[in-house]
Amino acid sequence: MNPPITHFVITLAAFYFYSCDLIKMKKNGDETTAQRKVIARVDNARLYADEIKGIVRDKISADDSAARVNAYVNNWIRKQLLIRKALQTINIDEANLERKVQDYRYSLITYEFLNQYIREHLSDSVDKVSIEDYYRTHPDNFILKQNIIQGTYIKVPKDAPRTKRIKELMFSAKEKEMTELKSYCLGFSAAFHLADSSWIEFDKIAVNSPLMDIPNKIQFLQSYNYYETSDASFLYFLKIDAYKIADNVSPLEFVRQDIKNIILNKRKVELAKKLEDDIYENAAKRKEFEILGK
């Protein structure tokens, strides 16, 4: 089912539940309905004031409150008009619509139940060995789409102080000077990325800098481990400790979180399937259902 049809079915489902509510209200007596304040009407469909309680939060201005209410009412009217036009234009198979409404309702119920069950029973701890095994056995899933690097990048205004010391600090392995470089970047840089074990896409570093204009970035990465450049307002310093070229397998550290998410999603699917199977098998043992002849 394509998205527009799905949306239409959901709209009709909403109309169905709304109609059921109207029938229930009529059963409770016309006096109760008459006492409710109507704020909008489309044919026999009515929107009551008590149905919009809660859409206006406390501590917002009167103008914002009015705008929120107006938006809700207009949206309700649009939906009613769309439903009316649909019912005038197409023939509705009531039995088929009822099945779709029930399927939609049951899907919402089971979705909420499974989500709660998974939240309560899923372990979000993924050990290092599991991640490494998945990485090793699925290399084709982790082909780089962009060039990535490990290194240090600093962008500073031309009038920043002590710019001649930046290169010296970038190449130092002394903890004191590494701390000094970080402090300098926090105080004066317009953008920076300091060397650590993480990988970063080269284009993310190069954005808003002359580095983006380099015609052959692969050749650049293969040729330079240090590069300085400038434009009218800024100085740019780049030290490359390691690089990986696009279309090669990603380093494990670059995709570690992705792999963890994949493993967790697989666990969710397996947990939901096991729950469904357990419920079915237990019900079968207790003879809580039977399959009758067709």
pLDDT tens digits, residue range 176-235?
999 999 999 999 999 999 988 899 999 999 999 999 999 999 999 999 999 999 999 999
Asked whether residue 149 is assigned to any structural domain, the reply reads yes
Q: Which distant-in-sequence residues (6+ apart) come within 8 Å of 72 by Cβ?
A: 52, 55
pLDDT for residue 33:
60
Q: In DSSP terms, which residues pair with 229 in a beta bridge?
A: 236
Name the residue among 225, 181, 190 with its Cα closest to residue 209: 190
Asked whether residue 101 is assigned to any structural domain, the reply reads no
Asked whether residue 129 is assigned to any structural domain, the reply reads no
The confidence band for 94, taking pLDDT boundaries of 50, 70 and 90, is confident
Distance CA 232, CA 252 (A): 39
Could you write out the DSSP letters of every residue in 137-203? Answer: H-GGGGB-SS-EEEEEEEEEETT-TTGGGHHHHHH---HHHHHHHHHHHHHH-SEEE--SS--EEHH
Q: Residue type for 31, please?
A: E
Q: Which domain holds residue 51?
A: 3-90
Percent of the chain past pLDDT 70, that is, above it, reads 87
Show which of 244, 268, 289 is a domain's final residue.
244
Asked whether residue 97 is assigned to any structural domain, the reply reads no
Distance CA 214, CA 203 (A): 11
Show which of 90, 107, 132 is a domain's final residue.
90
User: By the 8 A CB rule, do 97 and 229 touch?
Assistant: no
Do 152 and 233 sit in the same domain of this protein? yes
Asked whether residue 267 is assigned to any structural domain, the reply reads no
User: By the 8 A CB rule, do 121 and 152 touch?
Assistant: no
Asked whether residue 105 is assigned to any structural domain, the reply reads no
Do 156 and 68 sit in the same domain of this protein? no
Q: What is the chain's alpha carbon radius of gyration, rounded to the nearest angstrom? A: 31
End-to-end CA distance of the chain: 28
pTM of the full structure = 0.67
Distance CA 213, CA 202 (A): 12
Higher pLDDT, 34 or 164: 164
DSSP structure class, residue 104: H
User: By the 8 A CB rule, do 26 and 33 touch?
Assistant: yes
Do 154 and 73 sit in the same domain of this protein? no
Q: Residue type for 159, please?
A: D
Do 86 and 22 sit in the same domain of this protein? yes
State pLDDT tens for residues 132-180: 999 999 999 999 999 999 999 999 999 999 999 999 999 999 999 999 9
- Average pLDDT, rounded, for the chain: 87
Show which of 228, 244, 260 is a domain's final residue.
244
Asked whether residue 131 is assigned to any structural domain, the reply reads no
As for how many domains the chain has, the answer is 2
